C-alpha cells in the first residue's frame, strides 16, 4: 500500500473494521506500539488519517505528532475524547457515525431499567444457586409501566429513550442546556428538581468537563430510596463514589450502569451490591451497529483519500440536549 494511504488506528475494539482497513490501507496499530511517541516521530509523517472510537478518541499529542494528518474518523458519536476545535485549527477534519448507535443505546437503557426494577440478575442467581428449589423467599420487585421518568440530555439518543419510555405508559420529563421547542415532553431546568419529581432518571448527556459529576449526591438524594438511576452516557457524568454510598445506604433504590468512571475497572463495592445492574459498556456492542459503523468510517476514509467531500463531517462540537 502506498505511503499516501497510511492510517493510524487507535484501538483494536473495531472488529468489523480492522480487516477491511488492513486490506485497503497501510495500518499503524497504536495499541501495539511500545513507545508511541518514538514510533510516531519516526513514521508519523506519512499518516494521513486516524481511526478511533468515542471512548479512546485521539489525544492532542497524537494529532500534533502527525504533521500531514487530514482526518480523524470516530466510530461512534462521542467526541469528549477528541478536541475538535484543536483539530480544526490544525486543518484536520473530524467525522463521526451519527444515527447508527441511537437505537442500540436506547434499547440498552430500557434493558437496564427493566433489569434493575425487576431484579432480573437476582432472579437468575436465585434459580442457579438453588434458592427457588429450596423454597427461599425472593424480594418483591417494582413495576416499570406507569412510572415517572426523567431524561438528562434530550439529544437523539435521549429522544429515542423517551419514545421507549412512553411506550411503557411512563410520563417523561427532561433537562438539558436549554428547552427544545416542539417536544412533547416537559422541560425541567434544574436536574435536582427533575430528580425529585421522577421515579427513574436516565442519563444520556454528553461527557466531558462540562457535565462531570452532574449527577452528584444532591441529585441522588432527590431521586430517593425508591428511585432508579440509569447511566448509558459516560461514567464521568455520575459521581461514582456518591452513587456507591447512596446504593449502600438505601438512600437510592437501584441503578443500571453501562459506563463507569475508570473503565474497565469497576469498584468492588459496586460488584458487591444487589441493587445495581452492571454492563461492560456494551450498549453499542451489537453486530448491526458495528457493521454500520464500519461502513460509514470506510466511506469517509475513501472519500478523504479520493479528495471528495466527507459523508459525516463534524462542523462544530455538538451539544446534547
| 3-class DSSP assignment, residue 292 | helix
At residue 238, what are phi and psi to the nearest 5 degrees? -105, 135
User: Strand runs (DSSP E) across 249-297, as ranges?
Assistant: 254-257, 276-278
Which of 136, 263, 288, 308 does the annotation list as catalytic? 263
Residue that is written with C-alpha cell 433537562 in the block: 175
Active-site residue flag, 86: no
Other beta carbons less than 10 A from residue 239's beta carbon? 20
> What are the angstrom distances between the C-alpha of 216 and each of 45, 83, 109, 206, 271?
44, 26, 20, 16, 20
40's CB contacts (< 8 A; 6+ apart) are 8, 33, 47, 62, 65, 66
Which of 28, 48, 164, 234 does the annotation list as catalytic? 234
Active-site residue flag, 263: yes
Question: Which amino acids are annotated catalytic?
Answer: 234, 263, 281
Amino acid at each position: 500500500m502506498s505511503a499516501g494511504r497510511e492510517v493510524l488506528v487507535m484501538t483494536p475494539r473495531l472488529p468489523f473494521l480492522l480487516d477491511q482497513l488492513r486490506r485497503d490501507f497501510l495500518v499503524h496499530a497504536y495499541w501495539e506500539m511500545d513507545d508511541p511517541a518514538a514510533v510516531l516521530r519516526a513514521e508519523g509523517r506519512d499518516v494521513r488519517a486516524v481511526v478511533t472510537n468515542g471512548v479512546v478518541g485521539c489525544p492532542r499529542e497524537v494529532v500534533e505528532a502527525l504533521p500531514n494528518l487530514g482526518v480523524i474518523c470516530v466510530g461512534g458519536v462521542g467526541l469528549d475524547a477528541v478536541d475538535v476545535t484543536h483539530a480544526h485549527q490544525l486543518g484536520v477534519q473530524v467525522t463521526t457515525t451519527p444515527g447508527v448507535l441511537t437505537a442500540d443505546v436506547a434499547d440498552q437503557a430500557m434493558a437496564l431499567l427493566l433489569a434493575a426494577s425487576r431484579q432480573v440478575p437476582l432472579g437468575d442467581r436465585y434459580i442457579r444457586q438453588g434458592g427457588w428449589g429450596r423454597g427461599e423467599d425472593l424480594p418483591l420487585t417494582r413495576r416499570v409501566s406507569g412510572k415517572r421518568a426523567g431524561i438528562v440530555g434530550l439529544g437523539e439518543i435521549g429522544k429515542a429513550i423517551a419514545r421507549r419510555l412512553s411506550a411503557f405508559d411512563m410520563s417523561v420529563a427532561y433537562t438539558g442546556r436549554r428547552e427544545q421547542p416542539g417536544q412533547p415532553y416537559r422541560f425541567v431546568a434544574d436536574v435536582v428538581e427533575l430528580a425529585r419529581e421522577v421515579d427513574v432518571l436516565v442519563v444520556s448527556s454528553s461527557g466531558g468537563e462540562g457535565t462531570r459529576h452532574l449527577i452528584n449526591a444532591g441529585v441522588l438524594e432527590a431521586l430517593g430510596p425508591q428511585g432508579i438511576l440509569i447511566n448509558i452516557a459516560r461514567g464521568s457524568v455520575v459521581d461514582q463514589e456518591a452513587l456507591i454510598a447512596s446504593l449502600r445506604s438505601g438512600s437510592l433504590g437501584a441503578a443500571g450502569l453501562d459506563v463507569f468512571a475508570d473503565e474497565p475497572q469497576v469498584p468492588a463495592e459496586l460488584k458487591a451490591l444487589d441493587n445495581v445492574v452492571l454492563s461492560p459498556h456494551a450498549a453499542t456492542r451489537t453486530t448491526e451497529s458495528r457493521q454500520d459503523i464500519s461502513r460509514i468510517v470506510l466511506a469517509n476514509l475513501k472519500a478523504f483519500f479520493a479528495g471528495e467531500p466527507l459523508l459525516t463531517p463534524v462542523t462544530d462540537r455538538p451539544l446534547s440536549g
